Amino acid sequence: MAGEAALRAEALELQPVGALAPGRLQALAARLSRRVHLPVHQLAPADLPLRKVNGRDQLDAGHLLELLETRATAEARLLVGVTADDVAVPVFTFVFGLARQGGRACLVSLARTDPEFYGLPADPELRDGRAVCEVLHELGHLASLEHCANRSCLMSFAGNIEKVDTRGERFCDDCAARLPHWLAAHAGTGAATSGYCHRNEPA
Ligand SMILES: [Zn+2]
Ligand SMILES: [Zn+2]
């Protein structure tokens, strides 16, 4: 059955990939804990044989996902790789994250969640709010959801940061109905009116 790993999940594990700024993983784990009804564990950094996309200074997201999937062997756990590096697949300039539908591992890049990446002033609240939304989107894929046509749904495809912000932080009702309980628990609740990932996040 598709998405069985997500249905059976009893914990999430955050796997740092490469160096992360102090406190970033903790901040992500804390925010994620408020959005999922599962324990969120932080793993120690792992020495992974990372690979760059040919001719580009970006991590090969497909390769990294394969590395994570081979490590995601624990029953009832989903593995979320977290990197500060920019990641891409050969056919896209970049990706915010990657997951295989129904898989048990996914990855997110924090690089483009940071307003400073775009030459804008630092905004840790916005940055961290976007990061947790990225993780939730990829977890949606692990729960077998595909991209949603509803532009204000967390499962809609975002090819740039503006779309990340306009799709907001909530799953639409149709998507929420297909999510495992631990991920759907907060779907559709709260006044998700601003459309910005960070606006409705508790501090
Ligand atoms: Zn997606
Ligand atoms: Zn949707």
Question: What's the CATH code of the domain at 20?
Answer: 3.40.390.10
Ion ligand 2 neighbours, Cβ < 5 Å: 148, 150, 153, 155, 172, 175
Is residue 39 assigned to a domain? yes
Per the listing, tokens 């990829």 go with: 138
pLDDT value for 187: 59
pTM for this predicted structure: 0.90
Is residue 78 assigned to a domain? yes
Quick one: CA dihedral 61, 73, 5, 11, positive or negative? negative
Amino acid identity of residue 17, one-letter, is V
Is residue 145 assigned to a domain? yes
Q: Which ligand number lies closest to the CA of residue 138?
A: 1
Does the pLDDT at position 85 exceed 70? yes
Residue 186: pLDDT band with limits 50, 70, 90 = low
Q: Name the 3-class secondary structure at 184.
A: helix
Is residue 30 assigned to a domain? yes
For 141-181, what is each residue's pLDDT tens digit? 999 999 999 999 999 999 999 999 999 999 999 999 999 99
Report angle CA 20, 122, 160 to the nearest 5 degrees.
80
For 28-74, what is each residue's pLDDT tens digit? 999 999 999 999 999 999 889 999 999 999 999 999 999 999 999 88
Span from the CA of 202 to the centroid of ligand 1 (angstroms): 25
Does the pLDDT at position 2 exceed 90? no
* Domain hosting residue 120, numbered range: 4-150
Number of domains observed in the structure of the chain? 1
Q: What is the mean pLDDT of the chain?
A: 90
